[in-house]
Structure 1
Amino acid sequence: MKTMTSDELINLLDANEDLNIIDVREDFEVEQGMIPGAIHIPLGSIPEKAPELDKSKEYIMVCKGGVRSANAGEYLESQGFQVTNLEGGMMAYDGELEFK
Structure 2
Amino acid sequence: MKEIQPAELAEKLNSGEKLNIIDVREDDEVAAGVIPGAKHIRLGEIPERMNELDKDEHYYMVCRSGARSGRATEYLEANGIEATNMAGGMLAWEEDVVIPGE
Query: C-alpha displacement at 1:20, in angstroms?
Result: 0.0
The alignment's TM-score, normalised by the length of structure 1, stands at 0.98
Find the aligned partners of 2:81 and 2:97 in 1 and give their Cα distance: 26
Q: Deviations over 1:18-54 (max 9, x none)?
A: 0000000000000010000000000000000012210
Aligned-partner residue type, residue 24 of structure 2: V
Find the aligned partners of 1:74 and 1:51 in 2 and give their Cα distance: 17
**In the TM superposition, what are the counterparts of 1:1-100 in structure 2 within 5 Å?**
1-100=1-100
Counting aligned pairs with the same residue, the percent is 52
5+ long unaligned stretches in structure 2: none
Moved >4 Å (runs of 4+): none
Query: C-alpha displacement at 1:8, in angstroms?
Result: 0.1
Aligned-partner residue type, residue 85 of structure 1: N
Q: Deviations over 1:35-93 (max 9, x none)?
A: 00000000000000012210000000000000000001111111000000000000000
5+ long unaligned stretches in structure 1: none
SS at match of 2:47: helix
Aligned-partner residue type, residue 63 of structure 2: C
RMSD value, Cα: 0.5
SS at match of 1:80: coil
Find the aligned partners of 1:52 and 1:39 in 2 and give their Cα distance: 10
